[in-house]
A and B are shown apart, each in its own frame.
Chain A
Amino acid sequence: MITGPAPGSYQGHYAGSVSRFVAYVIDLVVSTGVFSLALAGISYGVHVVTGHSVSWNRSTPVVFVLFVLWEFVYFGYSWAVSGRTFGMAALGICVVGADGSVAEPRRGVVRALVFPLSFLLCGLGFLGILVQREHRALHDLLAGTAVVYAWDARAARLRFLARQAQLTEVPEITGTPPG
Chain B
Amino acid sequence: MVNPRDRLRSVGRRMTDPAEVLAQQVTERVLDLVLSALDVNELAARVDINAMLGRVDVNTVLSKVDLNVFLDRVDLNAFLARVDVNALLTRVDIKPLLDRVDVNDVVGQIDMDALVQRTDLGAVIARSSGGMGTEALDAVRSQAVGLDQFVDRWVQRLLRRKHPAPPAPSALLPAQAEP
Residues of A with Cβ closer than 8 Å to B? 2-5, 10, 12-19, 22, 90-92, 96-101, 130-131, 133-134, 146, 148-149, 151, 153, 156-166
Give the shortest distance, in Å, between A80 (CB) and chain B (any CB): 19
What residues on B are CB-neighbors of A159 within 8 Å? Answer: 125-126, 129, 134-135, 138
Which of B125, B159, B165 is in CB contact (< 8 Å) with A134?
B165
Complex A-B: 26 CB contacts under 8 Å: A3-B172, A5-B167, A12-B173, A14-B165, A14-B169, A16-B144, A22-B144, A99-B171, A100-B169, A100-B173, A133-B165, A134-B166, A134-B169, A148-B169, A156-B138, A158-B116, A159-B125, A161-B113, A161-B116, A162-B123, A163-B135, A164-B117, A165-B116, A165-B118, A166-B123, A166-B126
In the complex, how many angstroms separate the beta carbon of A8 from the nearest chain B beta carbon? Answer: 10
List chain B residues, Cβ under 8 A from A92.
137, 141
A133 touches B169 (CB 8 A): no
Q: Please state if A14 and B125 are interface contacts (CB–CB under 8 Å).
A: no
Are B122 and A165 in contact, with the CB atoms below 8 A? yes
Q: Are B151 and A18 in contact (CB under 8 A)?
A: yes
- Chain B: how many interface residues by the 8 Å CB criterion? 38
**How far is it, in angstroms, between the C-alpha of A160 and the C-alpha of B116 when the chains are bound?**
10
Which B residues, 138 to 179, have Cβ-Cβ distances below 8 Å to chain A? Answer: 138, 140-142, 144-145, 147-149, 151-152, 155, 159, 165-175
Q: Are B141 and A12 in touch, CB under 8 angstroms?
A: no
- Since A99-B171, A100-B172, A158-B113 are in contact, a sample of 17 more A-B pairs with Cβ atoms closer than 8 Å, ordered by chain A residue number, is A5-B172, A14-B168, A16-B144, A18-B148, A18-B151, A19-B141, A19-B147, A96-B169, A131-B159, A134-B169, A151-B145, A153-B141, A158-B112, A159-B129, A161-B117, A162-B117, A164-B117
User: Does B145 lie within 8 Å of A16, measured CB to CB?
Assistant: yes
